[in-house]
Structure formats: C-alpha cells, structure tokens
Amino acid sequence: MKWAREFTAAAATSASRGSTRAPDGPVSPPVPPVMVVSHFGKRYNKTVAVDDVSLDVLEGEICGLIGPNGAGKTTTMECVQGHRVPDAGAISVLGLDPRRDADALRQRIGVQHQEAQLQKRIKGVGSSRH
C-alpha cells in the first residue's frame, strides 16, 4: 500500500509538470493533455448547471466525474462530446473543438451513456460477430 501512495504521488508530480520520467531515465518532452476543459459553464435559462469547471486529462489517465444528481456531470460530458454548446469557457478533446468539430470528434471517441439500453437489445450471438 505504501508503494501505491508513493507511485501515485510521483505520477501526480510528473503530470503536474506535463512530462514523464522513466525510472532512472531521462525526462521526456511535455505531452499535451488529450482533454482540456477551461472555465466551462452552462446555464439552462436562469438555472446554472455548471459554473467555472476546469480540468486537464493526460493520455493514459482515467477521469471520472462524480457527484449528486443535478451536479452537472451529464451536462459537462454532453458539452465535451459536442452534443451541447457551452455558455462559457473552452473545451478541447484530442485537439478538436467539440463545438466546431463535433462530427470529427465523435468518430474518434466512444461513449456509453448510463441511460442507454443497448445491452438489453443485443443478443449474445450478434455481439460476438463484431
């Protein structure tokens, strides 16, 4: 367990510098994040759904949005995917702007929404053919 904490701390320090270091090796050049959300905001009429959210996700990282119902998780992901237009801030995914490049972005990412019922409609034989 101690190793996991130290490894996580070292990875976080490396990520904050934007570079990676192999054990006992040289520092690699900075790698741009694959997703950048900067001062993002979204309103529905007078209701503020998301207010000033910023985050970077580096290649190979796993990022999860957690929070109570109504916290803005779905709205955030819909804007990141290009399904909704943000009211404030900037979003970049794989170097693409979801507002401008939504079709190109959707060809490069895969998303499984929690409401999707695809699993109930697929038969075992059909899903194993692909």
The C-alpha atoms of residue 65 and residue 103 are separated, in whole angstroms, by 24
Higher pLDDT among residues 115 and 38, named by residue = 38
pLDDT at 6: 39
Q: What is the pLDDT of residues 2-12, one digit of tens each?
A: 333 333 344 44
30 CA to centre of own chain: 19
pLDDT at 84: 93
Q: What is the pLDDT of residues 39-84, one digit of tens each?
A: 999 999 999 999 999 999 999 998 888 999 999 999 999 999 999 9
The CATH class given to the 32-113 domain equals alpha beta
The sign of the torsion formed by the CA atoms of 28, 17, 72, 35 equals: negative
The C-alpha atoms of residue 90 and residue 83 are separated, in whole angstroms, by 15
